[in-house]
Each structure stands twice: as C-alpha cells, then as structure tokens.
A and B are shown apart, each in its own frame.
Chain A
Amino acid sequence: MRRIILRTVLILFLLAPSSPLGAQEYIIKFATVAPEGSTWMNVMKEYDQAVRAESHGRIGFKIYPGGVQGDEKDVLQKIRLGQLQCAGVTGNGLTTIAPAARILDAPFLFRNYDEVDRVYATFDAEFERAFEENGYVNLGWAEVGFVYVFTNTRVEGPADMKNVRMWIWEGDPIAEAAIAALNVHDVVPLAITDVFTSLQTHLIDGVYASPLAMIALQWFSRTKYMLDVPLADAAGAVVISKKKFDQLPADLQEILRRNGKIYLGKLTRLSREENRKSLDALKKNGVIIVEPKNSKDLAEYEQLGKQARQTLAGKLFTADLLNRVEQEIARLRPGSGAGRK
C-alpha cells in the first residue's frame, strides 16, 4: 500500500507543471539588430513580460538582440526556413514582405508626426493586408523616424546637392528614387557596413539617416552638416510569420496583437523622443544644422519629392494608393480647409 502511495505521489510530482504559471506551450523566436540595453530591447522585453503574464505563461518570446541572427535579409531567410518566427524590420525588409507599406518611406511625403499618425491610422487595414498577402502579420509599427541628409559640404538648397557624393543603400528602390529626385550627380550604392569606412576615406561625403541612427552607427563623427528638411519618415514594424501566427489559439493571437499595439506604440513614442534628444547630441558634437535658405527651396524639395513618388507608383505601391495617401495628408495642411490635427 505504502509503495502504491509513493508511486502515485511520484507520478503526480512528475506530471505537475514546472512552474506555477504552467508550461510554456508557444515560444516565438524573435530577432532584432537593436542591442541589449537599448530602448528597443527594453520595450520588447516589456512586451514579452506582458504576453507571458496575460497568457499565464503559455506564450513568450525568445529574443535574439544585437543582430546575432544576422541582418534583416538573413533574419527573413531564417523565418522562411522556420528557424525564427518573428523580427523587427525596417525599409529593407518591408520591401520584401509588404512592398505597399513602403509608401510610408516615400520621399518628402510627410512634414510632421501629425501627418504620419493620420496616414498610419487611416490606411492601417490596407497595409495589414499587404503583410498578410506575403505571409506575415504586423504585430505593430515601430517607426525609425524622420531621416535627414548629412553631408560634409554645406547644403542649403537643391542646387547644392549636385556637388555631394551621396551614399545610397544598395538595392533600395525608395532611396534610389529619393536621391535621384535631389539631382545628385554622384551616387555611390554601398552596403550599410561599408558606409563608415567610405566616409573616412572620402569615397562618399553624404549619407541619410535618422538622428539616432547617425549616432548609433557613429556616422556623425564623419559628417559636418545636417540639412533640416526631413527627407522621409522611415517606417519599421515587428512582424511574425503568418504560418506561426495561424497556429496559435485565438486568445493568444489577441494577446499578441493587442499588446503589440500597446508596446510598439510606446516604442514609437520613445523613438521620437530619442530622435529629438539625438539632434541635441549631434549639435553638441559639432554637427551644424542647416536651415533651407528660403521657402522657395523648401517648396522645390517637396516638388522633387512628388515627382520621385510618381516614379515609384506602380512598382512598390499603386498610383491609386499614392493618390489617396497624398490627399489624406493634403487635408491636414494649411489652406486645405480641414485644419490641423
């Protein structure tokens, strides 16, 4: 009898959940280039903790930070192979998995965050379909921020751009169109890993990036001027493979989506704040912020941007989508009658 009781106790013990929250049923392998300790990673960990808590430990992320799983291209390849399921992506990755969403990166489209927020809110469902058509679910936008041109020769109006040897991220159609619109004569396509050295050796003397990226990539240490006209607002998102997402029970899908919106929304707000602080840090480190000479120059940049966007229509996004996005933004601009948000 005693032996039976002992055996029963042993079996019960072995069958008991390993943690009070129950065994984890679903692990989502997530990769990002953001390093441990960065705001990106801090918020991603909060997202992980929230979904673990709400699901009573049934689902959670295994996070690979700092690019240990490679760049966006490598990570998307690993998602296709089933080695990973989830990633933080920016323009490069979006071109592959949701080309229509790259309209958000279009040159000189937005003037401020009010316009950005309006377009994201209005067209979210449409972009969501673009992800799903390519086998992904967007768990939330994680904006990189406004991108500016940084140069070693002073650039004020579009005419000054002609003298810049400008880097473009090789294989990025949006960057190609944007830089072509600026009438830059000397364009140097390079992988992102070669940019710092190329600035050092003067192979290039112009780059574009968000203020925070300029600091994180240390390109600011090799550039002197920033043209204070936003070239584009770089988009980003945390995406999960649709195959993996569809395998999850509905309640876990809801937990992932809802918390994704909450935490990645928080990340976007913090990124905007960090970009603002980065501008101060750039100034402190000797980067000179150059205002456009006059409103005529500003209008010329916007006109060049409009032409560049037209050249992209029919490639990454439709002319119809472009038209509707531009109309939505126009409604917010002074003189439209709709007023500002």
Chain B
Amino acid sequence: MKILPLLILLIFAAGGCIQQIALNSLGSVLDTGFDVINREEDLTLAQASIASDLKLLETLIARDPGNAHYLLLASMGYSSYALGFAEDDSVERAKLFYARGRDFGFRILDAGDAFRTARGQGPQEFREALRSLSRDDVPAVFWTAVGWGNSVLLNLSDPAALADLPKIEAMMEFVVRNDSTYFYGGALSFLGAYHGSRPAMFGGDPRLAKNYFHRALGISGGKFLMTYILFAKTCAVQSQDRQLFESCLTAVDTASLDRLPEARLSNAIAKKKAMILRSKTDTLF
C-alpha cells in the first residue's frame, strides 16, 4: 500500500518537471520571439507583440522568480518598450516602464551582496562594489543602467533620483571597460548623451561626448541608427550645432532598414524619432 503515496509523489514530481520543461520551452520561445520582433519593421505590429510578450514573461517570472535570463529579458523589454513606444507620447508611461526595466535588472544584480548593499550607499562605495562584478554581468549592468538612467532623466525634479546619476555613470563605465561593443556600443552612446546633454557648469563636456558617439558609431559601422538620434538630441542641441543635428537626422532618414536586419525594429523607431526631432527644430535652435 506504500506504492500509492509513492506514485502520487512521482506524479507530482513529474508534473513539476513537466511544468519546468514547459516554462523552459516558453522561455526559449520568447528568446526567439524577441529576435523575431527585433527584425520587424512595422511599429504597430511590434508594439502589440512586445506588450503581450512582456506580460507572458512576467507570468514566467512569477513562477520562477530567480531566473536571471527571464529577468534580463524583462528589463530589456520594458526599457525598449518605453524608448520605442511610450516616451514620445506619454512621459508618465515611459517613467513607469523604465522603472520596471530598472527593477527587473536590480533583481538580477541584487543577488550579489556587494551590489545590493552599495545601492544604498554613496557613489564612491558603489563604484567600488562594481569591482565584484565580471564581464558576464555586462548585459544585466547595461540594461539595469538603461532603465535606471532614463528613469532619472524623466525625474529631474526629484533630488533623490538626481543623486543616483553618478552611480549610473559608473555602471555604464563598467560596461565600456568590460565590453564596449555590447549592444552596438550602447554604453558609449549613453555616456555620449550623458556628457553631451549638460552645460559645462553642470559637468558637460561636448568633446568627450562626441568622442563617445564616434566610438559607438564605429562599432556598428553607423548601422545602428539610434546612436545618431541620441547624438542629435543631446550633443548637437546642447552645443547648438544645427549642422551636426541635420547630418545625424539625414543619416537616419537615408539609411535602409535592411542594412542591419537584426535591428530593423530599433532602426524603424529611430526613423520615427528623427521625424519627431526634425519637427521640433525651430524650438530646439
């Protein structure tokens, strides 16, 4: 009669395994799904697909809360969604989604005690704590910093948020030190925007910013168009360099979406942003 409880146990265990297998395969379907979406050029279709994938991803995370891979996809997905589909229409929605991107990223990095503790300390302690991370942490550090950084930039009236900027800068510098090519030189572009969007009295440095942008453009061979958008929006506007502004936007307008098929969606979003920026030229200069 002992066979019965054993059988029940086995069925449950098998059920758990099956569930885990199902979760894993859903995860790999999502991986492929994100690759497929990144190749999409129709923004409406992409927006709807990402939204549903993100909710599915959150369901998977609810079942497997410590899964760093899912958490990274969610961090990446929410920040990308904010950048591509929210920030031009609603700052409030963009704030919400960037914050989610940041928080999913924190859940990965907080697994290390040093990072978790240093988040509540000063910028110098935080910079020290980043030394405990390795090249393998580059994706999590990058996407967490993207969510965190953009969340701060949309909350400039909050001094507590503003005080986090040196920590975010340190994270992007970590990415540049460990793998500057990650995500088409994304950390270089971020640092370019960071140094290029502030006046000199607030620590801005247009020469340094241009250098970062040129390095990022060198990595993608000028094929990742979002770099041009950031270059125009920050460095060109801050230095009131209308010629640079125009040349960046023209580079985006004239590039074919097929030049970088694996980033067709990002490039289609860049084209949309170029149109929006161009319509604001008279206000910006």
Contacts and interface: CB of A to CB of B under 8 A. Distances in A.
Interface of A: 33, 35-39, 42, 62, 66-71, 192-193, 196, 211-212, 215-218, 220-221, 270, 274, 277-278, 280-282, 284-287
A277 B156 CA distance: 13
Closest 7 interchain pairs by CB? A67-B199, A286-B122, A37-B156, A278-B159, A221-B123, A39-B157, A281-B163
Given A284-B120, A285-B123, A66 B159 contact: no
Contacts, number: 89
Contacts of B240: 68-69
Contact of B156 (A38, A70, A280, A281): A38
A38 B157 contact: yes
B157 A71 contact: no
B282 to A, nearest CB: 9
A71 B160 contact: no
A211 B238 CA distance: 25
A169 B88 CA distance: 39
A259 B199 CA distance: 28
A35 B162 CA distance: 12
Contact of A35 (B122, B200, B202): B202
Interface of B: 120-125, 153-160, 162-163, 165-166, 197-204, 237-240, 283
B199 A218 contact: no
B201 A66 contact: no
Nearest to A42: B157
Given A66-B197, A193-B201, A215 B125 contact: no
Contacts of A221: 122-124, 166
Contacts of B125: 286
B159 A33 contact: no
Nearest to A70: B199
A216 B164 CA distance: 10
A277 B157 CA distance: 10
Contacts of A42: 157
B198 A274 contact: no
Given A67-B201, A68-B199, A215-B163, 16 more contacts: A33-B201, A33-B202, A35-B197, A37-B155, A37-B157, A38-B157, A68-B238, A70-B199, A193-B200, A216-B202, A217-B203, A221-B122, A274-B157, A285-B123, A286-B121, A287-B122
B165 A218 contact: yes
7 contacts: A216-B162, A217-B203, A221-B122, A277-B159, A281-B162, A285-B121, A286-B122
Nearest to A276: B159
B277 to A, nearest CB: 14
A218 B202 CA distance: 8
